A and B are shown apart, each in its own frame.
Chain A
């Protein structure tokens, strides 16, 4: 039979606009969260992380917001550039400092139009 691949959620923005990518995580015991960027044919690249005792963290052009009440994570990218086009994954982990698996979300395909 024919296999059908999953279709990633997509977000299309104009260059220079701000982008917001959302993620719902599943495990209320998770206490460490990471956003990764994955370009076609490459491995996931670390963008920014946040611990569960924080609700906001800023990096260069990126901000991560964490709402533990509703188990929601978002990534904001300011002044989005064509080079930001990629699939973005959130990942959650139980045990911030201990070795344990990452559980990945489904990913969002971000397309930046020039």
Chain B
């Protein structure tokens, strides 16, 4: 059973460009979370999605950032008009949400975004 997959692993963008980060959850998982990590810091929650629905986006900046999880295909985190402060590692996690079971989140390897 493949784990959470993210691509690209490394992404370099110039200021003002768009960044698209992709996440494929573990097989059988229908819930996806995105987190951001700055160097030597813990992960900070951004957004929680189910298929075709955004459940909680309270951690996501109001401007330039958006996320989706379509019925088919991976979840996408999109950052428009990137700025240097967007440089970070972005991690996706998925969970199975089994009835009565704990909502354990399993993480992908991350996408390291560098904005020049």
Residue positions of A touching B, CB distance < 8 A: 5-8, 32, 34, 36, 42-46, 49, 51, 89, 93, 95-107
B40 touches A6 (CB 8 A): yes
CA distance in complex: A81, B108 (Å): 24
Report B-chain residues with C-beta under 8 Å of the C-beta of A6: 40-41
Would you list 12 pairs from A and B whose C-beta atoms are within 8 A, ordered by A residue? Answer: A5-B41, A43-B6, A43-B107, A49-B102, A89-B42, A89-B43, A97-B97, A99-B48, A100-B103, A102-B35, A102-B105, A105-B42
**Nearest residue in B to A109 (C-beta to C-beta)?**
B40
Q: What distance in Å separates the Cβ of A24 from its nearest Cβ neighbour in chain B?
A: 13
Report A-chain residues with C-beta under 8 Å of the C-beta of B110: 42-43
A101-B56, A102-B105 are known contacts; what are 20 more A-B pairs with Cβ within 8 Å?
A: A7-B40, A32-B102, A36-B107, A42-B109, A43-B107, A44-B107, A49-B104, A96-B102, A97-B103, A99-B31, A99-B48, A99-B50, A99-B55, A100-B103, A101-B45, A101-B59, A102-B43, A105-B42, A106-B42, A107-B41
Report how many residues on chain B are interfacial, defined by Cβ distance under 8 Å: 32
CA distance in complex: A7, B41 (Å): 8
Report A-chain residues with C-beta under 8 Å of the C-beta of B40: 5-8, 107
**Nearest residue in A to B49 (C-beta to C-beta)?**
A99
Q: Given the interface contacts A5-B40, A6-B41, A101-B45, does A96 sit within 8 Å of B109 by beta carbon?
A: no
